[in-house]
Amino acid sequence: MALTLSEKKQIVSEVSAIAASAHSAVIAEYRGLTVDQMTTLRKQARESGVYLRVVKNNLAKIAVRDTDFECIQDGLTGPLMLAFSQEDPGSAARLIKEFIKDKANSKLDVKFVSVGGQMLPASELERLSKLPTRDQALAMLAGTFRAPLDKLARTINEVPGKFVRTLAAVRDQKEASA
C-alpha cells in the first residue's frame, strides 16, 4: 500500500528531527532478515536508546538534508535501515555489532556509518562501537582529575611512613646489638 503525501511528510519530519539530534548513524541492508529478527532488533534498539527505522531512500534523502548526515545521501540505495545513536556516539554501532554476532542474524549487512558529518566505510563499525558511553567517559574524566590528588596524598603520606620505618629499623638494630 502506497503512502499518502501526509504520511510521507510525517516520516520525513520525524526522521529529520531525529537526525538533527543524533550523534552517529549506522546504515545497513536488512535483506534476508525475518520479521522475528527485525522485531528483536527493534526491541533491542528501544532498550539501548537507538532510533531504528526502515525508510524509503527518497524520503531518507530528504530527511537528512541540512543535518550532519547529509553526507550519506549518495549511499542510500537498496533496502536500507537507518539506526541513529541518540544517547552516545557508539550506541547504534554496539547494537548492530552485537546483533550481527549471532550467526542467525549475519544477513544484516552494514553498508556504512556516519559520524561528525562524515560517511565512513562499514569497516569503521568496530571502532565506533568501542567508543565509551557517556558514563564511561565521565568516569575516565573523573579519574584523570583525581589522579594528581591521589599521587599527592600518597607522597605526603610517604614522609611519616618512611620516618616510622626508619625508627623501627633503628629500634630493631639496637635490640639486636643489646
Pairing of strands 50-54, 24-29: unpaired
Write down the pLDDT at residue 1: 63
CA–CA separation, 124 and 113 (whole Å): 7
Say whether pTM exceeds 0.85.
Answer: no
For the chain of 178 residues, list the mean pLDDT of each consecutive stretch of 10. Answer: 84 90 89 90 90 90 88 87 88 89 82 86 83 80 84 83 86 85
Q: Could you give the 3-state DSSP secondary structure of residue 111?
A: strand
CA–CA separation, 121 and 113 (whole Å): 6
List Cβ<8 Å contacts ≥24 apart for 154-163: none
Give me the CATH topology for the region 5-131.
Alpha-Beta Plaits (3.30.70)
Alpha helices in 5-88 (DSSP H): 5-21, 35-47, 57-63
Write down the pLDDT at residue 82: 92
Using CB atoms within 10 A of its CB, is residue 157 exposed (0-12), middle (13-18) or buried (19+)?
Answer: exposed
Q: How many other C-beta atoms lie within 10 A of the C-beta of residue 8?
A: 16
CA–CA separation, 50 and 82 (whole Å): 10
Q: What are 117's three cell numbers?
A: 558529518
